[in-house]
Structure 1
């Protein structure tokens, strides 16, 4: 297999039709095998509030009770995933929408309730790369929403950055993999209010310093934790920044170093 490029798209880009369409057009033009993972937390939050369902987060991570899980299934696997697949088809990219339950591709276990009970949240145990290899050999482009399963009929909400990272790690055993985390910021910022404060390259020790200084908070922490896990597990390249970086590597973004 050629170099496999794995992209995760999330944040405000999902809610911005023009930004999302521009990303999907650029993504469709990438040659070779590729996989897309998308989030949709803001959309899920919006629908939860419409339905009068309380949104609860701890350190940037969503607590998923039974009602919230239903909302996530409807928004991630239904509304968002299907729209993304349809747009990719319009750009002549033969996309296939998936959850981790499809063909048993991603098996998870429900997260332990100690020290914090996150509800129906899944921690990934295993990724079946062989099924995805068959798909990509047939020129299909897998498009995952962040839902996995426990092989016993229970669907689980799973962090999209984690899913992207674990897919990249699993494939790194058999091919060269690159991971791109795309969202509305230009990368890791030392000042969240200043887009010009991008850290061009970030190693683990520097990341720990940013944490101590309180410059990396909430949702950015699990994002970067997953980036560093990937780069420490044979993934050849990990970058984080705006979607435009996939077309123009000279644009500001953060490259993750060991």
Structure 2
């Protein structure tokens, strides 16, 4: 079975042009089939301020009203995505910039209004991802670069969590490829102490994850990544790794660093 790397890059790297350039240089040299899923970083917030569009958040997550969905569509699907594609093409990596709406590659639905109205935020329909369409791209030499946008089948674009998209794609393709899902960000892995960059927890399984959460040892911002990682493992993904963007090349080998997630 062919190896497939699904690599998600976090916003803090995207916000730093030097860090992003270095990461993309490494990504371009990864052999074989690969998909890059990217977030938006703080670029949308900065451009929104220039346009007089106020960013609103609840628990660190963006409320996406009518103005904001136009903003993030322009920034995530346009500015960020196409700059990444152009840099990869300059590195002889045959990148293809897309979002979840293109080819209906990531079906989604609008998040229902409960305690909070998130606006135009999409939740991935994980069981409906068309793995055959992804295989056509991968098996014909393209490197998909996916922006965190989907659609609701009623002509509305939706802002969608990039970590969740990466996990759902990994699950959908796990029957066709030997998938390693890698979450890259600015830390060396999951830290036991957020103040100590060297306190990396090398392996986490379900039992140890429950204990770490009960003891409140984990930084709240890492919990969604871990939840997505375990959801992917439960659904058949072979390997999930959380590590530093600078360690990407090592994390595509058997001798990984960072935090390896297992059942």
TM-score (norm 2): 0.92
Aligned twin of 2:61: 61
- What are the ranges of 5 or more consecutive residues in structure 1 without an aligned counterpart? none
For the pair 1:107 / 2:107, whether they are aligned, the reply is yes
Number of residue-to-residue matches in the alignment: 258
Corresponding residue to 1:171 among 157, 160, 173: 173
Match of 1:255 in 2: 260
CA contact (8 A) 1:165 1:226 kept: yes
* 1:129 shift after superposition: 1.8
State whether residues 59 and 219 of structure 1, in contact with CA within 8 Å, keep that contact through their aligned partners in structure 2. no
CA contact (8 A) 1:179 1:238 kept: yes
Shift of 1:41: 3.1
Q: Supply the distance in 1 between the matched residues of 2:116 and 2:218 (Cα, whole angstroms).
A: 21
Q: What corresponds to 2:45 in structure 1? A: 45
Confirm or deny: 8 A CA contact 2:12 2:41 kept in the other structure. Answer: no
Match of 2:8 in 1: 8
Report the Cα distance in structure 1 between the residues aligned to 2:56 and 2:97, rounded to whole angstroms: 28
Deviates most, 8-17 or 155-164? 8-17
Q: Which moved more, 1:111-120 or 1:160-169?
A: 111-120
The whole-number CA distance in structure 2 between the counterparts of 1:212 and 1:71 is: 39
Which position in structure 2 is the counterpart of 1:200?
202
The gaps in structure 2 that reach 5 residues or longer are none
**Post-superposition CA distance 1:39-85 (Å, at most 9, x none):** 01322222223333332222332221111111111110011000000
Over the aligned positions, Cα root-mean-square deviation in angstroms equals 1.6
The structural deviation recorded for 1:230 is: 0.8
Alignment of 1:1-258 (within 5 A): 2-125=2-125, 126-249=128-251, 252-258=257-263
Matched position secondary structure for 2:250: coil
Instruction: State the alpha-carbon separation in 2 of the partners of residues 64 and 178 from structure 1.
Output: 31
TM-score by length of 1: 0.94
CA change 1:251–1:103 in 2 (3 A) is closer
